């Protein structure tokens, strides 16, 4: 969940509109701490059987949509929702498998720092994040970051750098920490860290 919220806050870019669909476990305080504006948020904990219509509606209404674990997404519905996202320029973060995702991200390791010899104060949580997918993102990349750091914010670990490893299969399910198996993003920042405008470069990501 921390990685999901951090990406949602980054994707929102300061905009006040966002929606969480099928995420009853998401805490308001955690969302606010990650940088999401609660006053502009919309929560639909149980979208029911018409979840596809719910997603299409909110994707046209708000710039950032967080999605929990729903029913399996058929190809035709994934294509239809992708068209809605391209048209609206919205960002989709889905916490489960999603057809058409181009990049997958996951937390592969995590450890809190600050406790030594059985005592101390937690200063921050250091995680290692992997990203891999299709096309230009077929080569997996790893980066280390604070999630959160001592100041409560998300930041790259200075000097840790980024690492490229052989491609990962995007057909295998992603086992992730933080309670999310996968996430998908449309029209957000590129996997290599470069910035893209939302409407110019629509794409999907998976994060976990």
Which tens digits make up the pLDDT trace of 62-101? Answer: 999 999 888 777 888 888 888 998 898 888 888 877 776 7
Same domain, 71 and 28: yes
Domain that holds residue 140: 108-165
Whether the model pTM is above 0.85: no
Co-location of 116 and 38 in the same domain: no
For residues 20 and 48, membership in a common domain is answered with yes
CATH number of 17's domain: 3.40.50
Whether residue 26 is found in the same domain as residue 77 = yes
Whole-angstrom distance, CA of residue 83 vs CA of residue 176: 28
Instruction: Find the length of the chain.
Output: 208
Residue 176 and residue 97 in one domain: yes
Same domain, 94 and 146: no
For residues 186 and 89, membership in a common domain is answered with yes
Do 49 and 121 lie in one domain? The reply is: no
- Going by pLDDT thresholds of 50, 70 and 90, the confidence category of residue 44 is very high
Spatial contact of 1 and 180, defined as CB atoms under 8 Å apart: yes
Q: Do 29 and 78 fall within a single domain? A: yes
Domain count, the chain: 2
Considering the chain, what is the average pLDDT of its residues? 73
Residue range 33-45: average pLDDT? 87
Strand (E) or helix (H) holding 207: strand 205-207
Quick one: 25 and 124 in the same domain? no
* Torsion sign, CA atoms 82, 83, 84, 89: positive
- CA 182, 186, 8: angle at the middle one, nearest 5? 65
Residue 167 DSSP code: P
Q: Is the pLDDT of residue 20 over 90?
A: yes
């Amino acid at each position: 969940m921390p990685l999901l919220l951090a990406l949602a806050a980054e994707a929102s870019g300061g905009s006040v509109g966002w929606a969480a669909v099928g995420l009853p476990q998401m805490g308001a305080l955690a969302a606010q701490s990650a940088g999401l504006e609660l006053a502009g948020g919309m929560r639909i904990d149980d979208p029911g059987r018409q979840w596809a219509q719910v997603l299409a509606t909110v994707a046209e209404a708000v710039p950032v949509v967080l999605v929990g674990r729903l029913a399996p997404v058929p190809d035709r519905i994934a294509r239809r929702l992708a068209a809605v996202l391209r048209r609206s320029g919205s960002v989709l973060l889905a916490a489960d498998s999603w057809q058409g995702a181009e990049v997958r991200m996951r937390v592969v390791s995590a450890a809190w720092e600050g406790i030594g010899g059985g005592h101390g104060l937690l200063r921050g949580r250091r995680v290692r994040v992997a990203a891999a997918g299709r096309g230009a993102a077929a080569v997996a990349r790893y980066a280390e970051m604070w999630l959160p750091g001592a100041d409560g914010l998300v930041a790259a670990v200075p000097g840790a750098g980024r690492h490229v490893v052989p491609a990962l299969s995007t057909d295998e399910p992603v086992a992730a920490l933080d309670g999310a198996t996968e996430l998908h993003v449309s029209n957000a920042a590129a996997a290599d860290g470069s910035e893209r405008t939302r409407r110019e470069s629509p794409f999907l990501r998976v994060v976990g």
